Structure 1
Amino acid sequence: MAEKENNKEKSVRKKKKVPQKVNRWKVAFLIMIGILIGTCAFIGLRVTQVREPNYRPAPIADRQGKPVLTMQSNKQQVNDLIDFFLSDFQEGSDIKYKFYLENEALLNGTFNVLGHPIQFYLYFDPYVMNDGNVQLKAKSLSIGTLGLPIKEILKFVQRDYKLPNWVEVDPSESLILLRLDQFRMQNGLFVRAEKINLVDDDIRMNIYLPKENNETSSKEND
């Protein structure tokens, strides 16, 4: 009887798996490899990360005129000019809006919700592009207690606001593009943005003569 019990205990011991000893050096090596790979991936991401918005390439305008004047302005002067332009442009329009410069560019307007006008403030960071146009990147929105996304407000602006034909709204990218290469004054002069620094209140633009006037002036000088 005792012999049977001993044989039974031996068979049970054989069935039990002996736990393997953990190789601590191997685990430490794998952890170190994981940290190294993660660090390399993080550095690569930061190096390749674009800090400015991805600009949509604008068609190159036929600007063969000659820059005749560099205009340096401040925010108050530009705001007065914008206010004068929009007052004339929006005459007779049922929907009014304002655009002016503070430490950011600011679009102020209203839209209707269930028949009630709701006021909003949309803030932008302005960027001067290589072609002299200005891109406005929407950064924040103030609209009371409503939680509407910026893209929906820009869709409303694109659909319902009367905008100059040289202003392009891209809700999908939260952008507004001021196509100065398509803006012309009545006398044919056009402008090109050179610098916009709202914090230091430094705004610079070049004034260009149209190509035909430039050629005429050159012939008269000859």
Structure 2
Amino acid sequence: MKEKRTTNKPINNKTTPNFWKWAFLILLSIVLGTVIWVFSQLTAVIQGEPNLTIEEPRTDEMAFQIQAHKKDLNQLVTKYIDEELANDQVDFEFSLEDQAQLKGTFQLFGHDVQFALFLEPFVMENGNLQFKATNISVGTLNLPISFAMNMIKDQLKIPKWVAINSQKEMIVFNLNEFYLKSGIHFSANKIDLAEDDIRLTVYLPAD
């Protein structure tokens, strides 16, 4: 009679804790939590006059880069308009699609006219965002972009840190004037709408 031979069964690797997997998940949770917290602070803004001067990096700040998507920033802008500009009778919306789009209504010869302004974004040397107008739709009218942008500038109650230059047909988001009460502020590093890749530097007070 043959002796029954016992063999060691292979260890099931699925039950073995994967240290690096959990370390990565914990780190990812911390990063996501920080990003969500930073963006949640954007509803408390200190507004100032537009300033296009390049600021020297401060030694009393910490800086880190975050990557965002068009959907994230669209939700953020909508929340900002609804909460911060609600008392200003705002009648416009701003969104990032294939191009940046500013839509709203202004009065022309005593009548409300809907418009859609399409813009191409660029990152400036000082970290601000410049949007160059490429096309505009104003009802069934064929108006020059500069004329329509001048109407928008005169009638829309936009934030003070947003500057409209109708002659050059561009809009500048002065992020260097966009501060939170906590002292947090931002600069743009990259904006690629086609690849849905938007990168910002967040500056945090060191103390």
TM-score by length of 1: 0.66
CA distance in 2 between counterparts of 1:113 and 1:157 reads 11
| Letter in structure 1 aligned against 2:55 | A
Aligned-pair Cα RMSD in Å: 1.7
Residue 100 of structure 2 aligns with which residue?
105
More helix by share: 1
% identical equivalent positions: 33
Residue 58 of structure 1 aligns with which residue?
52
Larger RCO: 1 or 2 (CA < 8 Å, sep 6+): 2
Are 1:83 and 2:78 an aligned pair?
yes
Give unpaired runs (5+ residues) of structure 2: 1-50
Are 1:156 and 2:147 an aligned pair?
no
Are 1:177 and 2:177 an aligned pair?
no
Higher Rg: 1
Residue 118 of structure 1 aligns with which residue?
113
CA distance in 2 between counterparts of 1:76 and 1:114 reads 36
Task: Report the alpha carbon displacement of residue 95 of structure 1 after superposing the two structures with TM.
Answer: 4.0
Give unpaired runs (5+ residues) of structure 1: 1-56, 217-222
Change (3 A) 1:114 1:156: closer
Residue 133 of structure 2 aligns with which residue?
138
Residue 181 of structure 2 aligns with which residue?
186
Task: Report the alpha carbon displacement of residue 62 of structure 1 after superposing the two structures with TM.
Answer: 4.8
Contact 1:67 1:206 in 2 (8 A): no
Aligned residue pairs, count? 156
CA distance in 2 between counterparts of 1:144 and 1:91 reads 25
More strand by share: 2
CA distance in 1 between counterparts of 2:157 and 2:133 reads 19
Change (3 A) 1:58 1:94: closer
